Amino acid sequence: LKALGVRIGAFSLFLPSVLRDEALATARALTPGGWRGQSERLAAAPSPMPDARALAANGLRLVGKHVAPVEMLERLDALLREGQRPGGVVLTDAARDALGWTPAEAAAVLRALDYTPALRPKEGDPILWKRRGAQRPEPKVAARPDSPFAALARLTEPPPRRKKPRRRKAAPKAVAS
């Protein structure tokens, strides 16, 4: 993929060459529906929401209730890596201002990217964010009962636990006089 120019980013898989002005103009011309989004800054998601192809043709990605340029999300990743601390990452005010976001927009985007505040911040301290994605368990898929794998699964199930017989209390001994 690297030889083809594909970049695997922190939040998106994209082609940087497609994000150039000429390529964006061509993609917008060929995209049905004619929706034109802002590809330079964070914006509120439009209503009605365009499909994923229209967003991709404009170099955008849906992030919660916002539409963000893919390159801006990669800058966010670089800024979060710079703000790495024990227990999470910090998006400093300077980093947020470099992105041009308000504190509410930054919090909404981070939450949409599966970050959560790690600790309650003290007065005047920046918020420590932690990624939740790695802790999510995979959903368990039930096997079809008529498949051969279901028969194999029944063979590997442990046998049901046997109950131990209850012990009887010993009868009190008679005292000899």
DSSP 92-139: -HHHHHHHT--HHHHHHHHHHTTEEESSPPPTTPPPEEEE-GGGPPPP
Note the pLDDT tens digit of each residue in 123-170.
777 788 888 865 556 677 776 888 888 888 778 878 788 888 888 887
Q: How far apart are CA 133 and CA 119, in angstroms?
A: 17
- For residue 12, the SS3 value is coil
Q: pLDDT of 71-127, one tens digit each?
A: 899 999 999 999 888 888 888 889 989 999 998 999 999 999 989 888 777 777 778
Rounded CA gap, 95 and 101, in Å? 9
Ramachandran angles phi, psi of 28, nearest 5°: -65, -35
Residue type, 36: R
pTM > 0.85: yes or no: no
